[in-house]
Amino acid sequence: MKADLHAHVPQGYANVNKVVDTASSRLSPKGLVVIANFNELDRYEPLISAKGYSRYFTSNGSACYFPEQNLWIIKGAEPMAKLDEGEGEILGIGIPKGARINYQKPIQDTIKEIKDLGGKIIIVHPGLPVGSTAPYFLKHPEQLENAIGIEAYNQEGQLFRANATTRQILKKLAPAIQKYHLGLTAGSDAHYPFELGLTYSEWDVFLPFDEDSDRFIQNLEVIIRNSPRIHAGGKIAGPAGSGMHIAKMLWHKVRQN
Ligand SMILES: [Zn+2]
């Protein structure tokens, strides 16, 4: 299975067939893509509710399976959380459909919110100059106990050579990563459908359809913790895509200071 474990589509985007076609063409024959909301139900819900290819849902709606394309679309949420100093984004996956994770809460509260909803945590883009939670986890490595994975490669991170910084951070966190059995993951951090699935993690196993959402997410956790092969691909996202996203984060940071 090939999995782009960290992606987005534009707010309110509703062309589910285009997303399925793009993702399944790049992640075939068996793929999985996480579509993460920001502070609203603005990415996953409109997408998987749109008319298009036939699909099944797990019981809580946190995952959607397209049988003809062998593709999973999983719900994610990437809230901004407050750290001891500054702020950073954290990714929860397997969040129930319709459930929202609060923004701008202390990171301990955000972690609890994700876990209480049955979601699993991936520490994303630790090497990014803004929007990283790495300062928190470097200071409190025991808090990695709450995560199942850490993103070793982020396609958007190419913009800031952030993946080199990520490698240095992973070295420092290596004892905790091993102790808590975190998988090393990869994601496109796509903000447009054309960026989806160019960067992905790959394993020899595939998750079959399972209507039981708890069992499904537990099986996904086992796979993710079992560190995959990472395929770093894709072009640097266009200025209209992730560049805008980072500009917004910078603006937010400047406004706060
Ligand atoms: Zn993201």
pLDDT tens digit sequence for 148-199: 999 999 988 877 788 889 999 999 999 999 999 999 999 999 999 999 999 9
How many angstroms is it from 38 CA to the middle of ligand 1? 8
For the chain, what percent of residues have pLDDT higher than 90? Answer: 79
DSSP state of 161: T
Q: What band does 236 get if pLDDT is binned at 50, 70 and 90?
A: very low
Question: What dihedral do alpha carbons 182, 207, 16, 153 form, nearest 10°?
Answer: 30
Across 67-95, average pLDDT: 97
Distance 166 CA to ligand 1 centre (A): 15
Strands 200-202, 229-231: pairing kind: antiparallel
CB 23 within 8 A of CB 33: yes
In this predicted model, which residue has the larger pLDDT, 129 or 21? 21
Query: What's the CA-to-centroid distance between 29 and ligand 1, angstroms?
Result: 25
Would you say residue 256 has pLDDT above 50? no
Rounded-to-integer distance, Cα 92 and Cα 175, Å = 23
Q: Which of 154, 188, 157, 152 is nearest to 34 (CA)?
A: 188
Read off the pTM: 0.90
Chain-centroid distance of CA 62 in Å reads 13
What's phi and psi for 121, nearest 5 deg?
Answer: -110, 130
CATH number, domain 2-256: 3.20.20.140
Q: Which of 154, 176, 180 is nearest to 167 (CA)?
A: 154
Question: What are the tokens at 205?
Answer: 């196993």
Chain-centre distance of CA 121, in angstroms?
9
Confidence band of 228 (pLDDT split at 50, 70, 90): confident
Do the beta carbons of residue 120 and residue 75 sit within 8 Å? Answer: no
> What whole-number distance in Å separates Cα of residue 86 and Cα of residue 256?
9
pLDDT of residue 25: 95
Average pLDDT score, the chain: 90
In this structure, the number of other CB atoms found within 10 A of the CB of residue 72 comes to 25
Give the pair of three-digit tokens for residue 164. 């080199």
Place of tokens 């063409």: 25
From ligand 1's centre to the CA of 183, what distance in Å? 18
Say which residue the tokens 């982020």 belong to.
154
Question: What is the whole-number distance in angstroms between the Cα of residue 96 and the centre of ligand 1?
Answer: 18
> Which helix (H) or strand (E) covers residue 23, if one does?
helix 16-27
Q: Which residues surround ligand 1, an ion (CB under 5 A)?
A: 78, 189
pLDDT tens figures, 117-142? 999 999 999 999 889 999 999 999 99
Distance 72 CA to ligand 1 centre (A): 18
Q: 227 C-alpha to center of ligand 1: Å?
A: 20
Q: What gap in Å lies between CA 29 and CA 206, rounded to an integer?
A: 10
Quick one: DSSP state of residue 94? S
Q: What are the helix (H) ranges across 40-189? A: 44-49, 107-116, 134-139, 162-179
CA of 6 to the centre of ligand 1 (A): 6
* pLDDT band at 234; cut points 50, 70, 90: low
State in Å: Cα 139 to ligand 1 middle: 23
